[in-house]
Amino acid sequence: MENRLAADLNHILDHTRDLWNELRGGHLFITGGTGFFGCWLVESFLWANDRLKLNSHLTILTRSPNSFLDKVPHLARHEAVTLLQGDIRTFDFPSGTFSHVIHAASESSLNLNETQLIEMLDTILGGTRHTLEFAVQARTKKFLFISSGAVYGRQSPDVKFLSERDLAEWHLPDRMDFASIYREGKRLSEMECIVFAQTNSLEIEIARCFAFVGPYLPLDAQFAVGNFIRDGLGGGPIHIKGNGTPFRSYLYAADLAIWLWVILFRGQSCQPYNTGSDQAINIADLAKKVAILFEPSPRIEISNTTPPGQKVERYIPSIQRAQTELGLLTWIGLDEGIKRTINWHQRNQER
């Protein structure tokens, strides 16, 4: 059966072809393999594995193998894939050696009460620690931790780009909500990684991820671009929950996959790399970019107005380290990325 992501997967392979020998005959373990990041990592791994005849194997940890099978049967049924059922905090360690581990499991829901927030923190910290312990037992050579730009806290309106060298002071949050608990969980998880790297023969790469667009991105979560695409697919209107002024930047998912593989294979251990685009766009203009790709273009509704004198919020990474050290670029622009995402969802609706 034709893979609808073939062009993107060939793009990923073109920019990573020389790296895959490191995994030849190896065994890769992925947590979070059923999510947005995970699906792209699995897709691109299997694409390379088949075409380069790597003879590598992939084990995916998932709470629900049946759900993964329903979502992406072509991945779940691949002969190089084994699905391991379990909780990220308590899964039974599979036997054998795993040359590479990618810890991509994460929590994404904003609608959490206080008890669930504590559970989320325990999942982030306990899951990271448990996966690190597994990697040590499995004699893993390289471990990729998918962190978040959230570790920086709120970006000052006067700071144009968030740099790995300018991390905000690590302090306790002044309130218990998703953003602050998630931020502290990711920060402490990075520290767990550094401790394990220093006390074991384990090379750990860290990708601090920002915002993205592409197939597999949930349309009903807290991602503005996904919500706008969902509204457009439904005929509109496209609804902006805030005032439309915050600035964000978006890296297309195929480029994201390239970045993650390059960071895993070539990144410096315990050296975090901002992962994303540095091309800022405000939310209102983002909604317009989405709207014009539909015919007819849906109207745009903005919930709130901007109070006079309010500074504009920003969440934009500096990607100089990734560019300088690893040669990473943005190959697929935002307009094309949104277009490909819409086309993928439209084709899925036709199935």
Q: What is the mean pLDDT of each run of 10 residues along the chain (351 residues)?
A: 90 98 97 95 98 98 95 96 96 97 77 70 93 98 95 84 69 58 89 94 96 95 94 96 93 98 97 97 97 96 76 92 98 98 88 60
Residue 51: CB atoms within 10 A of its CB come to 13
Domain extent at residue 53: 6-215+250-278+316-333
β-pair partners for 328: none
Contact call for residues 286 and 225 (beta carbons, < 8 A): yes
pLDDT at 107: 63
In a domain, 242, yes or no: no
pLDDT at 17: 98
State how many domains the chain has: 1
pLDDT at 308: 63
In a domain, 54, yes or no: yes
What is the pTM (predicted TM-score) of this model?
0.94
The DSSP code sequence of 63-130 is S-HHHHHHH-HHHHT-TTEEEEE--TTTPPPPSS--SEEEE------S---HHHHHHHHHHHHHHHHH
pLDDT at 157: 79
What contacts 328, CB < 8 A, 6 or more positions away? 258, 259, 262, 319, 322
In a domain, 295, yes or no: no
Contact call for residues 115 and 76 (beta carbons, < 8 A): no
The DSSP code sequence of 38-70 is HHHHHHHHHHHHHHTT---EEEEEES-HHHHHH
pLDDT at 167: 60
Q: Pick from 200, 183, 180, 166: which is nearest to 270 by CA?
A: 200
pLDDT at 311: 81
**CA atoms within 13 Å, Cβ hemisphere of 189:** 35
In a domain, 235, yes or no: no
In a domain, 324, yes or no: yes
Q: Pick from 139, 38, 45, 124: which is nearest to 87 by CA?
A: 124
In a domain, 90, yes or no: yes
**Secondary structure (3-state) at 168:** coil
In a domain, 302, yes or no: no
Q: Residue 188 maps to which CATH number?
A: 3.40.50.720
**Secondary structure (3-state) at 180:** helix
What contacts 180, CB < 8 A, 6 or more positions away? 173, 174
Question: CA-CA distance, 104 to 145, in Å (whole number)?
Answer: 7
Question: CA-CA distance, 3 to 12, in Å (whole number)?
Answer: 14
In a domain, 343, yes or no: no
pLDDT at 113: 57
Terminal C-alpha separation, the chain: 13
